[in-house]
C-alpha cells in the first residue's frame, strides 16, 4: 500500500499540484530491516508517516466523511484501512 499511495501522490504532484502529500493507510513497511528512525531511513523519499503519527483520530475522521468503521475484534472480521491524500 505504501508504494501505491506514494505513486498516487506523485501522479497528483505531476498533474500540477506541487503541494500534494499522502498519508498511507498503514505505517511504513517498505524495508524488512528498518532502522527505526528517520535519520537512518533507507528510502526517505518514499517513506511517509501514517495518520496516527500525526495524532489524527482516524475513526472520527472516517465517520465524519460518511465511512463505516469499527474496531476489529478478531482476524475473522474484515479490516478497512484509511489513508489521506492532501492537495492544495
In which band, very low, low, confident or very high, does the pLDDT at 66 lie, cut at 50, 70 and 90?
very high
Q: Please report the sign of the dihedral spanned by the C-alpha atoms of residue 70, residue 59, residue 8, residue 37.
A: negative
Task: Please state, as a whole number, how many other Cβ atoms lie within 10 Å of the Cβ of residue 51.
Answer: 19
Give residue-wise pLDDT tens across range 5-17: 999 999 999 999 9
Give residue-wise pLDDT tens across range 75-86: 999 888 899 999
Amino acid at each position: 500500500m505504501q508504494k501505491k499511495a506514494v505513486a498516487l501522490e506523485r501522479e497528483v504532484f505531476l498533474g500540477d499540484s506541487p503541494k500534494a502529500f499522502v498519508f498511507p493507510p498503514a505505517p511504513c513497511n517498505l524495508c524488512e530491516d528498518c532502522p527505526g528512525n528517520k535519520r537512518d531511513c533507507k528510502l526517505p523519499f518514499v517513506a511517509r508517516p501514517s495518520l496516527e503519527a500525526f495524532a489524527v483520530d482516524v475513526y472520527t475522521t472516517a465517520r465524519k466523511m460518511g465511512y463505516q468503521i469499527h474496531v476489529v475484534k478478531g482476524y475473522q472480521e474484515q479490516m478497512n484501512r484509511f489513508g489521506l491524500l492532501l492537495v492544495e
